[in-house]
Amino acid sequence: MANRAYNFNAGPAALPLEVLEKAQKQFVEFENSGMSLMEMSHRGAIYEKVHYEAEALLRELLGIPTGYKVLFIQGGASTQFAMIPMNLLRSGKTAAFVATGSWATKAIQEAKLFGEVSIAASSEADKYNRIPSIGELKYDSDAAYLHLTSNETIEGTQWSEFPDTGAVALIGDMSSDILCRPIDVSKFGLIYAGAQKNLGPSGVTIVIIREDLIAEPTAPVPTMLRYTTHAKADSLYNTPPTFAIYMMNEVLKWVKENGGAAGMEARNREKAKLIYDTIDGSNGFYRGFAQAESRSLMNVTFRLGNEELEKKFAKESEEQGFVGLKGHRSVGGLRASIYNAVPLESVRALVSFMKDFQSHNA
């Protein structure tokens, strides 16, 4: 489609055009049922096929080992900030966190409402422009869990490798980089991710949880906020976000058709390299925010010489069909979010614009 925007939104984010076009065709009538998927019961065989197919594809593409449950939960990753300590932070235990930026900070603040929290490592002194090294991590051997945010969308930093935490359950917020590359799920006790960046539209959150962590909370927790509730009912205890799960299923099919997690990584590294090379080769006109070894494959954050120039960049880019290049309001600057579904052609167009903008404003 010639009139598609160059979509660099941080979330909700770009979806594969092929998926959108297929959904458009199936929206009014799904599989000769005489109705839309949005109109049918989530207890019926047609929807259940979609539901379980999405789970199976997620297991396949992430290589999820046996002994883990895959849950589809509403409320976004922000609900998981509370749900995790409500279920896993027992009395007398401490939850350890790695403070890497805005989203890790939100998770820390929420956990403090339910129990003791410690900071295993922090990059706050560096304005969160880097990911702490594994060697920097300090936490109790009997901690309830160690929580990290695998990719900080606002600061544009990403973990390149994950720690082995032994008996301490490792928890990963992968909302903004799940399936951008292969990962070893067995290192984690729990992984969670809002769908609206790499998996589909907003409305559903993925929780991958090791079965030994699924237990009734020791303190009173509302029924809908217990992992046991969703695990026992295969995420069908109440009406799930059926359209979001359908769309996620189609996105997962697209990922599989395009080489799986390894194919996504090759695609994402090529896109990221184009932009980072442009930044690094600009003789200081563009300045990357994240330290080189912590740069994200998903969110490229950068600055110009002053805010007025950044505003001009944002305005002129919008006029040329680019969407979402303003940095987050809390930090300013500029940001290109290049999730799985962002086409290489969009990134090439952005690089061309960046070079042209520099030539007229340096």
Asked whether 282 and 358 are in contact (CB, 8 A), the reply is yes
168 within some domain: yes
Q: Does residue 269 share a domain with residue 250?
A: no
CA distance 237 to 228: 10
Q: Is 159 a catalytic residue?
A: no
Q: Same structural domain for residues 137 and 234? A: yes
229 domain-assigned: yes
- From the list 278, 282, 289, 273, the residue with the least C-alpha distance to 338 is 273
Which residue, among 247, 224, 219, has the nearest Cα to 235 in the 3D structure? 224
Q: Is there a single domain that holds both residue 54 and residue 178? A: yes
pLDDT tens-digit readout, 105-151: 999 999 999 999 999 999 999 999 999 999 999 999 999 999 999 99
Condensed to tens digits (0 to 9), the pLDDT of residues 146-205 reads 999 999 999 999 999 999 999 999 999 999 999 999 999 999 999 999 999 999 999 999
Count of structural domains within the chain: 2
Tell me whether residue 4 is in a domain.
no
pTM for this predicted structure: 0.97
**Does the annotation mark 254 as catalytic?**
no
CATH number at residue 355: 3.90.1150.10
In a domain, 194, yes or no: yes
Question: To the nearest 10°, the Cα dihedral for 311, 312, 316, 319?
Answer: 50
Above 80 in pLDDT, residue 295? yes
Mark whether 150 and 187 lie in a shared domain.
Answer: yes
Integer angstrom CA distances of residue 161 from 64, 150, 184, 308, 310: 18, 9, 10, 37, 33
Q: How do residues 79-99 score in pLDDT, each as one tens digit?
A: 999 999 999 999 999 999 999
**Residue 71 sits in a domain of what CATH number?**
3.40.640.10
Q: Look up the domain containing 289 and give its range.
A: 261-361
SS3 call for 96: strand
Look at residue 1 and tell me whether its pLDDT is greater than 80. no
Residue 332 has pLDDT above 90, yes or no: no
Are 129 and 198 part of one and the same domain? yes
Of 239, 257, 275, which closes a domain?
257
Q: Tell whether 10 is covered by a domain.
A: no
Percent of the chain with pLDDT over 70: 99
Same domain, 184 and 231: yes
Where is the domain boundary, 235, 257, 279?
257
Active-site entry in 197, 253, 271, 326: 197
| 241 and 292 within one domain | no
**Residue-level pLDDT at 329:** 81
Residue range 226-282, pLDDT digits in tens: 999 999 999 999 999 999 999 999 999 999 999 999 999 999 999 999 999 999 999
Task: Tell me: do 55 and 102 sit in the same domain.
Answer: yes
Task: Give the span between the Cα atoms of 7 and 21, in whole angstroms.
Answer: 17
Q: Is residue 43 part of a domain?
A: yes
Residue 331 is predicted with a pLDDT of 84
Residue 275 maps to a domain: yes
CA dist 214 and 191 (Å) reads 13
Tell me, what's the pLDDT at 275?
98
Stretch 329-355: mean pLDDT, rounded? 95
Are 224 and 89 within one domain?
yes
Is 8 a member of any domain?
Answer: no
Domain boundary among 201, 223, 257: 257
Q: Residue 2: is its pLDDT beyond 80? A: no
Does one domain contain both 78 and 26?
yes
| Beta-ladder partners of 96 | 118, 146
Residue 217 confidence class, pLDDT cut points 50, 70, 90: very high
- If asked whether residues 279 and 215 sit together in one domain, one would say no
Q: Are residues 164 and 96 in the same domain?
A: yes
